[in-house]
Amino acid sequence: MRKFLLAATAAALVQLGLVGAAGANTLRYASAGDIYGLDPHSMTDSFSINFLLHVYEPLVRYNKELKIEPALAVSWEVVKPDVIRYKLRQGVKFHDGSDFTADDVVMSLMRATDDKSPIKGNLPALKSAETVDDYTVDLHLSGPTPLLNNYLTNIAIFDAQWLEKNGAVKPVNAELGEEGYTTTHANGTGPFKLESRRPDAQTVLVANEAWWEKPEHNLTKVVHTPISSDATRVAALLSGEVDIITPSPLQDAKRIAGSPGTKVLESPGLRTIMMNFNMRDKLVDGNVEGNPFRDVRVRKAVYQAINMDLVRDKIMRGKSRNAGMQIAPEVPGFDEKLNRRFPYDPAAAKALLTEAGYPNGFQFNMNCPNDAYVNDEEVCQAMTAMLAQVGLNAKLVTEARTLHFKKAQEGQTDMFMIGWATLPMLDGFSVLSAMLHSPEDKLGTWNPGDYKNAKVDELTKKIDVELDEAKRRQMMIEAFGITEEEVAWLPLHQQPLSWAVRDNVEVVQTADDLLRLWYTRIK
Amino acid sequence: MLVFLVRRLLQAVMVMLAVAFIAFLMFRYLGDPVNNIVSQDATQEQREEVRKRLRLDDPLILQYGRFVVNAAQGDFGVSYRNSRPVSALLAERFPATAELVLVAAILSLALGIPLGIYTALKPRGVLSQGLQILSLVGISLPTFVTGILLILVFSVWLGWLPSFGRGDVIDIGWWWTGFLTATGLKALILPSFMLCLFQLTLIMRLVRAEMLEVLRADYIKFARARGLRNRTIHFRHALKNTLIPVVTIFGLQLGGLIAFAIITETVFQWPGMGALFIQAVNFTDVPVMAAYLVMVSLLFVIINTSVDLLYNVIDPRLRTDQTRATGRGA
């Protein structure tokens, strides 16, 4: 009898434990990795920054359609091309109760763009910020900056007094070996407050009752756990221990969809996967004189030798979206006409190679990551086989991303794979400035293949400072038209986003693969 | 005795220096941490700046030297990923790993020894045969497969046990424990079982083999002839002599438990040092990797030394040998 009682008590405790963990409107959220720390100014990882932007807020933010909307700023106007005035929201309070004013904005922006700040590249044009009155701030820029608001979506606003009180006015200086106060503490204005955090185990947020906006979400608490193993993450969802997982592995989609109480959310993401061509004087690992890739016919032959429909249907399980452009449809600069791919046509590819003087093809090396994108290695293996059919011998090397991107950037490859989501900028200019402009100063940082076109360079520089949005887009489309005609890069597809949730959870899945909990509801 | 300890201490230092050196040689093949630190479209200038700040361009030997000098003063540097001192990160993760390994070690002994005895005493029993087959499975299946199977059965199908994490934990000073809550104890079951499975089967098979051997020995026959009860023979005479090799193997395997904890912690998202290490490898977080490897090598030396000391306690014959040997050495 006593044994039985003991067992019964234990069982009851177990039950209590399980029920207590769930609670009313608690969202249990598991992602593949943990945030790096609590200071959104100390890292460039977009997952971490997005998570922290539930606690802290930016001046402007992206909405469900990834359009910019007011957050801590209510309106903005161009005073001069290089001075923008922001009107701030009144009556906003930080989680510790202090008021939000212009001083907070000025100090936060200066902190983010400090010489020692790891994220100063996220707000490149800012020279200084000045208080006009308690709720007005002027931003002085180095020149006209059409994408200023896009940059600002990623810059969290801190409380100036709180920073001063805790000796954190300057960004965390990691080299000194000191632990920054802001790495382990948080005080923002956002829809959620930090309740507790154990790195790599659990971060708990609670709803901010005093938030300035009438919440669309109905959550009272968010418990975030990183679960790095795919299988465990899926198991945690299926066993009812978590309510949402990001990402949900593609190969488990059927199983999750087939299980009672869970469903999979899939949509094409922003990240466009593409291949770069080495257009320098010589191939890294070739068997012919010079560099055949300098000839547009050869690049086009490679393009037309690759059957992306097959890749989509067989490798990506029908979930990817083939791309003709280097940017996704959500990104400004996109054009439906330009997004049409050159047709798959091995015969035409062979003809082009013959025309260019390589009837028997040639050899070159091709580098792909094996842990960076969805099925990245498989896609590259398939491409190698397809290229072989037109006589091209691509020597494939696949390796971890830390090795891959180093080699790619140092120009040790003839063709390499990269995915580009244009974040945090969310604009076609990101691709033009980093991947298509010829390498020069801050431009062309991801153009190791050395693609050069004077007209594209000229357009890119104009786009950088054009404040008229319609004109700017027109110029972007013109520039992309040129680079596609010249097959500057080989775009492949947008890889699918895949999340999975319990049936009672309503979330908005935006193409940038970031979960915005202030739109999340539990039924 | 003192000489023995001092010698071991010197050995430990050498081992740690060597491990750190080999680690630094290998880090070069892990790739470039800079790409993980800056944003994707960072300029060359920004990359160079980070590289300079982290002194990644220094020759290998200089980086190694700096690490050793700082480590000797207890400073393991700052994690590239978390911007926090590595020593703080490791201290924070240590309790989780320690509790997991402790439970796994106890489980492997508490289950392995009785099962080994049982299968030795009843070698032809159906249960014994079954256990033998199961132990083969346990010894040959990769641990991550067993881990995922355990999750599938006990978390997804039966819903009895959690599939990840430590459950509710309680802070006691800097230590945080899962031993004091129901969810914490439940969370320990699957990972510790997965971790101990290999050791458990090894110990069981070892005890069985040794026991069978001992039971054939003359002094057991003599004991039987004396008319001693079976229980006395088995547990007082046979078992004691079985345990010496078990201690050796267990000691060696304890290090293995800490090493295998990396896999267990990854599968069960156990927030311990192993998970931290894997994360560091993915990020090329050199300071964390180096500190972890050095620490684990220190643990190995400590465990092996303790095992050697334990021999002396268990086996009187070794004790005299040892004293004679050290006596000569001194």
Among B34, B41, B50, B54, most A C-beta atoms within 10 A, so best to mutate, is B41
Residue A21 in this model has a pLDDT that exceeds 80? no
Of A16, A43, A235, the CB nearest to B163: A235
Sign of the CA dihedral B189, B191, B197, B203? negative
Of B85, B92, B162, the CB nearest to A177: B85
Sign of the CA dihedral A100, A50, A322, A319? negative
Q: Are residues B272 and B221 in the same domain?
A: yes
- The dihedrals phi and psi of B246, each to the nearest 5 degrees, come to -65, -40
- Residue B324 maps to a domain: no
- Residue B181 maps to a domain: yes
Tell whether B268 is within 8 A of chain A (Cβ): yes
- Residue B330 maps to a domain: no
In the three-class reduction of DSSP (H, G, I as helix; E, B as strand; rest coil), residue A409 is classed as helix
Q: Are residues B90 and B66 in the same domain?
A: no
Show which of B25, B45, B72 is a domain's final residue: B72
CA-nearest residue to B176 within chain A is A198
How far is the CA of A371 from the CAs of A403, B159, B228, B230, in angstroms?
Answer: 11, 32, 65, 60
Task: Tell me how many domains chain B contains.
Answer: 2
Residue A152 in this model has a pLDDT that exceeds 80? yes
CB contact under 8 A, B53 and A175: yes
- Residue B313 maps to a domain: yes
Distance CA A290, CA A356 (A): 13
Lowest mean pLDDT among A156-170, A247-261, B238-252: B238-252
Tell whether A446 is within 8 A of chain B (Cβ): yes
At position A222, the amino acid (one-letter code) is V
Is residue A502 a contact partner of residue A244, using CB atoms and an 8 Å limit?
yes
* Dihedral angle computed from the Cα positions of residues A132, A135, A139 and A144, in that order, rounded to the nearest 10 degrees: -110
Q: What percent of chain B has pLDDT over 90?
A: 20
Of A14, A44, A430, the CB nearest to B186: A14
Q: Which residues pair with A80 in a beta bridge?
A: A83
- Residue B101 maps to a domain: yes
Greater model confidence, B251 or B43: B251
What is the per-residue pLDDT across B307-321, written as a single tens digit (0 to 9) for each? 878 777 776 666 554
Distance CA A349, CA A345 (A): 6
- Residue B274 maps to a domain: yes
What is the distance in angstroms between the Cα of B217 and the nearest Cα belonging to chain A?
43
- Other C-beta atoms lying within 10 Å of the C-beta of residue A251: 11
Is residue A153 a contact partner of residue A119, using CB atoms and an 8 Å limit?
no
In this prediction, residue A146 has a pLDDT band, given cuts at 50, 70 and 90, of very high
pLDDT of residue A423: 84
Greater model confidence, B203 or B51: B203
How far is the CA of A294 from the CAs of A281, A282, A291, A398, A472, in angstroms?
Answer: 8, 9, 6, 24, 29
Sign of the CA dihedral A401, A403, A409, A412? negative
At position B138, the amino acid (one-letter code) is G
pLDDT of residue A12: 45
Distance CA A304, CA A290 (A): 22
Distance CA B215, CA A70 (A): 82
| Helix B60-72 and helix B286-314, axial crossing angle in degrees, nearest 10 | 60
Is residue A163 a contact partner of residue A30, using CB atoms and an 8 Å limit?
no
* Residue among A203, A422, A199, A190 at smallest CA distance from A327: A422
- Residue B312 maps to a domain: yes
| Cα angle, residue A482 at apex, residues A481 and A488 outer, rounded to 5° | 110
Lowest mean pLDDT among A148-162, A228-242, A286-300, B118-132: B118-132
Among A29, A270, A402, most B C-beta atoms within 10 A, so best to mutate, is A402
How far is the CA of A306 from the CAs of A312, A373, B294, in angstroms?
Answer: 11, 19, 48
Which residues 116-145 of B have a C-beta within 8 angstroms of A? none
CB contact under 8 A, B155 and A235: yes
pLDDT of residue A208: 95
The alpha carbon of residue B133 and the mean position of all alpha carbons in its chain are separated, in whole angstroms, by: 25
Q: Are residues B92 and B41 in the same domain?
A: no
Which residues 85-114 of B have a C-beta within 8 angstroms of A? 85, 88-89, 92-93, 96
In the three-class reduction of DSSP (H, G, I as helix; E, B as strand; rest coil), residue A476 is classed as helix
Residue A15 in this model has a pLDDT that exceeds 50? no
The alpha carbon of residue B201 and the mean position of all alpha carbons in its chain are separated, in whole angstroms, by: 16
Show which of B45, B72, B99 is a domain's final residue: B72
pLDDT of residue A23: 52
When the pLDDT of each residue in chain B is averaged and rounded to a whole number, the result is: 84
Residue B27 in this model has a pLDDT that exceeds 90? no
Mean pLDDT of B120-145: 85
Cβ contacts (< 8 Å) between B92 and chain A: which residues? Answer: 199
In this prediction, residue A4 has a pLDDT band, given cuts at 50, 70 and 90, of very low
Residue A263, class by beta-carbon neighbours within 10 Å (0-12 exposed, 13-18 middle, 19+ buried)?
Answer: middle
Distance CA B51, CA B43 (A): 12
Of A17, A434, A441, the CB nearest to B41: A434
Is residue A492 a contact partner of residue A379, using CB atoms and an 8 Å limit?
yes
Lowest mean pLDDT among A14-28, A359-373, B23-37, B283-297: A14-28
Distance CA A89, CA A75 (A): 9
A66: region left, alpha or beta (phi > 0 left; psi from -120 to 50 alpha):
left
Per-residue HEC secondary structure of chain B comes to: CHHHHHHHHHHHHHHHHHHHHHHHHHHHHHCCCHHHHCCCCCCHHHHHHHHHHCCCCCCHHHHHHHHHHHHHCCCCCECCCCCCEHHHHHHHHHHHHHHHHHHHHHHHHHHHHHHHHHHHHCCCCHHHHHHHHHHHHHHHCCHHHHHHHHHHHHHHHCCCCCCCCCCCCEEECCEEECCCCHHHHHHHHHHHHHHHHHHHHHHHHHHHHHHHHHHCCHHHHHHHHCCCCHHHHHHHHHHHHHHHHHHHHHHHHHHHHHHHHHHHHHHCCCCCHHHHHHHHHHHCCHHHHHHHHHHHHHHHHHHHHHHHHHHHHHCHHHHHHHHHHHHHHC
Cβ contacts (< 8 Å) between A442 and chain B: which residues? Answer: 43, 45
pLDDT of residue B318: 63
Q: Are residues B92 and B241 in the same domain?
A: yes
Provide the token pair at A400.
């971890």
Cβ contacts (< 8 Å) between A232 and chain B: which residues? Answer: 148, 151, 163-164, 267-269
Q: Which residues pair with A185 in a beta bridge?
A: none
pLDDT of residue A410: 87
- The dihedrals phi and psi of B270, each to the nearest 5 degrees, come to -85, 120
At position A496, the amino acid (one-letter code) is P
Buried b (16+ CB within 10 A) or exposed e, B288-317: bbbbbbbbbbeebbebbbebeeebbeebee
Instruction: Number of A to B CB contacts under 8 A, please give it.
Output: 159
Q: A17: part of which helix (H) or strand (E)?
A: helix A2-22
Distance CA A25, CA A222 (A): 9
Q: Are residues B116 and B246 in the same domain?
A: yes
Q: Which residues pair with A262 in a beta bridge?
A: A502
What is the distance in angstroms between the Cα of B165 and the nearest Cα belonging to chain A?
7
In this prediction, residue A304 has a pLDDT band, given cuts at 50, 70 and 90, of very high
Q: Are residues B48 and B90 in the same domain?
A: no
pLDDT of residue A291: 94
How far is the CA of A505 from the CAs of A223, A488, B262, in angstroms?
Answer: 14, 43, 33
Which residues 8-67 of A have a C-beta within 8 angstroms of B? 10, 13-14, 16-17, 21, 30, 33, 36-37, 39, 42-44
Is residue A415 a contact partner of residue A277, using CB atoms and an 8 Å limit?
yes
CB contact under 8 A, B152 and A235: yes
| Helix B286-314 and helix B316-329, axial crossing angle in degrees, nearest 10 | 110
Q: Are residues B101 and B159 in the same domain?
A: yes
Distance CA A509, CA A521 (A): 13
Distance CA A37, CA A195 (A): 14
CB contact under 8 A, A121 and B84: no
Q: Are residues B173 and B227 in the same domain?
A: yes
What is the distance in angstroms between the Cα of B256 and the nearest Cα belonging to chain A?
22
DSSP code for A437: S
Residue B326 in this model has a pLDDT that exceeds 50? no
- The dihedrals phi and psi of A34, each to the nearest 5 degrees, come to -95, 165
Which residues 138-177 of A have a C-beta within 8 angstroms of B? 172, 174-175, 177
Q: Which residues pair with A500 in a beta bridge?
A: A245, A264
Domain with B10 in it: 2-72
When the pLDDT of each residue in chain A is averaged and rounded to a whole number, the result is: 91
CB contact under 8 A, A180 and B267: no
Q: Are residues B161 and B23 in the same domain?
A: no
Highest mean pLDDT among A41-50, A412-421, B121-130 belongs to: A412-421
DSSP code for A100: P
Among A228, A255, A367, A398, most B C-beta atoms within 10 A, so best to mutate, is A228
Distance CA B135, CA B147 (A): 16
CA-nearest residue to A37 within chain B is B82
Which residues 263-292 of A have a C-beta within 8 angstroms of B? none
- Residue B229 maps to a domain: yes
Show which of B23, B40, B72 is a domain's final residue: B72
Q: E strands of A81-170, at which residues?
A: 83-88, 126-133, 136-141
- The dihedrals phi and psi of A108, each to the nearest 5 degrees, come to -65, -45
Distance CA B222, CA B215 (A): 11
Distance CA B248, CA B257 (A): 14
Q: What percent of chain A has pLDDT over 90?
A: 79
Q: Are residues B48 and B103 in the same domain?
A: no
Is residue A356 a contact partner of residue A386, using CB atoms and an 8 Å limit?
no
How far is the CA of A255 from the CAs of A233, A245, A500, B56, B149, in angstroms?
Answer: 13, 14, 11, 45, 16
Q: Are residues B68 and B165 in the same domain?
A: no
Cβ contacts (< 8 Å) between A224 and chain B: which residues? Answer: none
pLDDT of residue B325: 46
Q: Are residues B55 and B131 in the same domain?
A: no
Which residues 193-212 of B have a C-beta within 8 angstroms of A? none
pLDDT of residue A175: 57
CATH code (residue B169): 1.10.3720.10
